[in-house]
Chain A
Amino acid sequence: MASGKRILWDGLFTVAILTVVFLWNLVLLELFDTKTMTPMIFVLGVFLVSWRTQGYLWGIVASLISVLAVNFAFTYPYWAFDLISPECISSAVVMLIVSTMMGALTTRLKRQEHLKAEAEKERMRGDLLRAVSHDLRTPLTSICGACSAIIDNYDQIPRERQLDLLGDIRADSQWLARMVENLLSVTRVDSDRVRLSKQSTVLEELIDAVLVKFRKHYPSQTVHVVLPDAFVSIPMDPVLIGQVLMNLLENAVFHAHGMEHLWLKVTLDGGKAVFTVEDDGCGIPRDRLPELFSGLLKSDAPADPSRRNMGIGLSVCQTIVKAHGARLEALDRVGGGAVFRFSLSVEDISYVEQ
């Protein structure tokens, strides 16, 4: 949050809390003629302000105002200041101490939380890096191998076999290119200042772009598409969300063994668009669920092409979806198979004239 906005918010919050506290006490005093609770309620107000605002400043401001308010409205002489009675001075001291300590405590707590989040991020980055290095090595090895084979034995290898090898090189490098796109999008999302280039995106166009790309790479795989009839517009980073859908569909192709049908569905639920990628393949083994989105590959996973992508793809998806304020979930499909699901808020477009 911008610092100006932050200061404004803190100030408004402090004013609001103090107003509520003051009115509350006034009601107690006028209707029930009781003021034993007055200091305690003000301390609560000071506590809330110190807790929710940044630094010490607002807490101290709140406690000073509280002391003056108690002095002014709730102690004898009423509706006048009396700054020398021992009662007044001790309540001022108590409130100042409370607010300073709260400020110190919350600042320390916030710093600790920040450090913990940083460490977690660092750990995830490390995991991702390990998974990436593992995943990139395989296609690179085969590209290198195929190239050397052709260069070294140009005259011996029959033409068709050379074309096969070149085809493999192309497929592997296309896969690498997509993987690099994935990694780039993670750095784009993961950087400290999350700068998603959100723009209102037409659902149909997003799905169209994803399907065109998917069919280019997997022409033989049919995708059953279910979309709402209405014109739906969603604020999102279309490139990144498109990538999530592409990764999920691609994952199904690679990992849902025995799959016969693959669905890409979007349904409207209240103000949300629920995206679902569903397959009727082998489903997700229970023991893989916890680490599914972590970017970790099982070390015993053989380095065959069908095992590629799983870890990185899904952790990339989760990172992107989270950056949109949502969560990607993996579920069992009723009747066998896997379901991946996330939902995004739909934009109200009723203002657009036809």
Chain B
Amino acid sequence: MSNNKYKILVVEDDRSIAGMIQTVLETGGYQVLVAGRCEQGVLMLRSHMPDLVVLDLGLPDMDGSEFIRIARRDRTVPIIVLSARMEEADKIAALDLGANDYITKPFSTGELLARIRASLRIVHGHQQTSGGTFTLGGLTIEHDRRQVRVDGEPVHLTRTEFNILAFLSRHPGKVMTYAAIVTAIWGGLDDGSVKKLQVNMANIRRKLGCAPGDDRYIVNELGVGYRMSDPQN
């Protein structure tokens, strides 16, 4: 798949970081627009119609979340948020507002490119459909037959466990917040539901043979949610 047609808007006030990201993305074959301020970013979003936005949350003129809100009103362009490590609450807020993913500063350029590819794929539908089969290393999930195998061996999951795993596998490479998963699986969020999710998740990991520190299949984003590893990265 060629990247050439994709246009990426980078909204970042720090010029050296913006310059670095621009260089990396241009080397990766993307067309890059840079906005140093939120307002300018909103204008460019409307006039240039980028395919994806990389957004720094700490902008001088406007809160980054405001940008997400405005962007979400107009169109469904994928947004990847850049944030500092300590700000889990901001990350969750940004994701709940409709950002597609976040990446923590300082990040490696490989990581950034991987996230961008994943987000673009999800939006542009280069994704296995829900009826198909998901394959990631030794893990296969057959959605319609509700069957999971690790290295060819069938794994017996409960209904809920399967639903969670299947849900994550439909969004590979994208972090899903606890709230998003719980809502998708149980239909609503209440006091014990995140704990219920975590208990189920512990069982899933055990059944898939993932020891702590093994992020081949599922990456646990502490305090935020879970991410299915991306088979295409």
Contact = CB atoms under 8 A, between A and B. Distances in A.
A and B associate: yes
A233 B195 contact: yes
Contacts of B220: 205, 208-209
Chain A to chain B: the 6 pairs with minimum beta-carbon distance, closest first: A211-B213, A208-B212, A209-B222, A207-B212, A352-B195, A202-B198
Interface string B176-199: 000000000000000010011011
Nearest to B191: A351
A242 interface: yes
Given A206-B222, A208-B220, A184 B106 contact: no
Interface centre among B88, B195, B196, B212 (most CB of A within 10 A): B212
A225 B195 contact: no
A205 B222 contact: yes
Interface in B24-46: none
A197 B223 CA distance: 10
A118 interface: no
B86 interface: yes
Interface of A: 173-174, 177, 181, 184-185, 188, 197, 199-202, 204-212, 214-215, 223, 225, 227, 231, 233, 238-239, 242, 349, 351-354
B62 interface: no
27 contacts: A173-B106, A174-B106, A184-B86, A197-B89, A199-B223, A200-B195, A204-B202, A204-B205, A205-B202, A206-B222, A208-B215, A209-B220, A209-B222, A210-B213, A211-B212, A212-B213, A215-B213, A231-B198, A231-B199, A233-B198, A238-B223, A239-B85, A239-B223, A351-B192, A352-B195, A352-B199, A353-B196
Interface in B191-230: 192, 195-196, 198-199, 201-202, 205, 211-215, 219-220, 222-223
Interface string B97-110: 00000000010000
Contacts of B196: 352-353
A177 B106 CA distance: 7
B219 A212 contact: yes
